[in-house]
Amino acid sequence: MTRYSAWSVFKNALTGHKNWPEQWPDKEPKSSYDVVIVGAGGHGLGAAYYLAKEHGITNIAVIDKGWLGGGNTGRNTSIIRSNYLYDESAKLYDHAVDLWEDLSEDLNYNVMFSRRGVLMLAHNQHDIQSFQRHIHANRLNGVDNRWVSAEEAKQICPPLNLDPDARHPVLGAAFQSRAGTARHDAVAWGYARAAAKLGVDIIQNCPVTAIRRDANGAVEGVETPKGFIRAGRVGVSVAGTTTPLMESAGVRLPLESFPLQALVSEPVKPIFPCVVMSNSVHAYISQSDKGELVIGSGTDQYTSYSQRGGLPLIEHTIAAICEIFPVFNRLRVMRTWAGTVDVTPDRSPIIGKTPVKGLYVNCGWGTGGFKATPGSAHLFAHTIANDDPHPINAPFTLERFTTGRLIDEAAAAAVAH
């Protein structure tokens, strides 16, 4: 019987047998850098790339406790959309969609962006009113979104069940045609390769244990098992472990960490042409290029750093998916998993400066991190380079939790995916 290492099983499950590039070469850190970015996921690698490309800062180290792209970037369900209700969120996510559209050409690396559209199903009168409100708000912000009838929704997505006696009857949907999916691991590798070509050092398997401050209280550098690394600017862009790292610098963040559940089916021939989301039952589904049905669920009801699948929540999600799409009833579940997401009180991210000079943070994305990747990275790079936020991310400051100017997109959207 053939035996496989845990790494090879994960790698093949995550990316397919032939698509993962060669293992990134190990690199020893230098003693000092102009900028250190903690977290080699899509957001951190992307920020390093834009710092080098657009701001001319190339003496950068991106440091990760594991391998690049091995955190939430490799565990998400790859949905991209910008149909958020509030002005601040709509501008942020639409900025990301603008960058997604040309990202493969920009990086010279195929991130497999697929503009297949996202349907958000309405199952009751409240859903209809809520989504139509979203549509009007989106149009005022220049974001594409339109209302479609149940019959039009089925034309867009033929497997949809329109039985009026279903537990979750489909009464119509909001449809953003510009939305879609991308390949999660390809995004990390594309940014990594492009940043490395511009001179950025990517250091794997090197956890940052603390952020050190000098006698004046400003950032001095980071502590690692490979020694102290001096840096005048430190950007923290990690998921799930932001709180303890920032506390080492004396910064408290309003974050809680939850496992976010997801699963995939066995692969089948192309049958699902778009992305479908159901806020009422908190389930969403698309089909990957390998043929798997990628199904997203919700966050567990307890705080945890666990990255394990949780069966009770997944069982609820699968039951809803099988009712909305009965044709999938006999498909087998191949694997389940979870990603640890940091959540703020208003379920909107923090992108900006901290009270510590030279320390910047990009966190609190909850379930919206992947879709924002290029936009978040671009804005974070601007903030670090200029020591001042871009107008798009200016509302997403840490100070809003003391002034009360919350964005509260979760309450508005009922779901933050």
Question: What average pLDDT is seen over the chain?
Answer: 90
Phi and psi at 75, nearest 5°, equal -125, 5
Residues spanned by the domain of 192:
22-76+184-255+345-413
CA 239 – CA 219 distance, rounded (Å): 21
pLDDT at 143 over 90: yes
Domain end marker among 310, 342, 374:
342
pLDDT at 11 over 60: no
CATH code for position 376: 3.50.50.60
Are 27 and 156 in a shared domain?
A: no
Residue 299 lies inside a defined structural domain of this protein: yes
Are 219 and 123 in a shared domain?
A: no
Q: What residues are paired with 60 via a beta bridge?
A: 35
pLDDT of residue 5: 40
Residue 94 lies inside a defined structural domain of this protein: no
Are 247 and 261 in a shared domain?
A: no
Are 247 and 123 in a shared domain?
A: no
pTM of the model: 0.92
Amino acid at 220: E
Are 265 and 336 in a shared domain?
A: yes
Are 63 and 198 in a shared domain?
A: yes
Are 301 and 399 in a shared domain?
A: no
Q: How many Å is the maximal CA-CA distance in the chain?
A: 69
Residue 14 lies inside a defined structural domain of this protein: no
pLDDT at 103 over 50: yes
Residue 82 lies inside a defined structural domain of this protein: no
pLDDT at 99 over 60: yes
Are 153 and 279 in a shared domain?
A: yes
% of the chain at pLDDT higher than 70? 93
Residue 83 lies inside a defined structural domain of this protein: no
Higher pLDDT, 393 or 76: 393
Are 247 and 361 in a shared domain?
A: yes
Are 385 and 322 in a shared domain?
A: no
Are 134 and 169 in a shared domain?
A: yes
Q: Give the total number of structural domains in the chain.
A: 2
Are 51 and 61 in a shared domain?
A: yes
Question: 184-197 vs 42-55: helix axis angle to the nearest 10?
Answer: 30
Q: Read off the pLDDT of each residue in 143-155 and give the average, rounded to a whole number.
A: 97
Q: Read off the pLDDT of each residue in 75-90 and give the average, rounded to a whole number.
A: 92
Domain end marker among 342, 373, 390:
342
pLDDT at 305 over 50: yes
Q: Read off the pLDDT of each residue in 108-136 and give the average, rounded to a whole number.
A: 95
Strand segments, DSSP code E, in 227-332 are 227-236, 256-265, 275-278, 283-287, 293-299
Query: How many angstroms separate the Cα of 410 from the Cα of each of 6, 343, 345?
Result: 36, 10, 9
Residue 48 lies inside a defined structural domain of this protein: yes
Which pLDDT tens digit goes with each residue over 199-236? 999 999 999 999 999 999 999 999 999 999 999 999 99
pLDDT of residue 23: 62
Domain end marker among 326, 342, 358:
342
Residue 143 lies inside a defined structural domain of this protein: yes
Sheet containing 256-265: give its strands across. 146-148, 172-176, 118-122, 275-278, 283-287, 293-299, 256-265, 333-343
| pLDDT-based confidence at residue 298 (cuts at 50, 70, 90) | confident
Which pLDDT tens digit goes with each residue over 270-283? 999 999 999 888 88
Residue 230 lies inside a defined structural domain of this protein: yes
| pLDDT-based confidence at residue 14 (cuts at 50, 70, 90) | very low
pLDDT of residue 19: 45
pLDDT of residue 300: 85
CATH code for position 314: 3.30.9.10
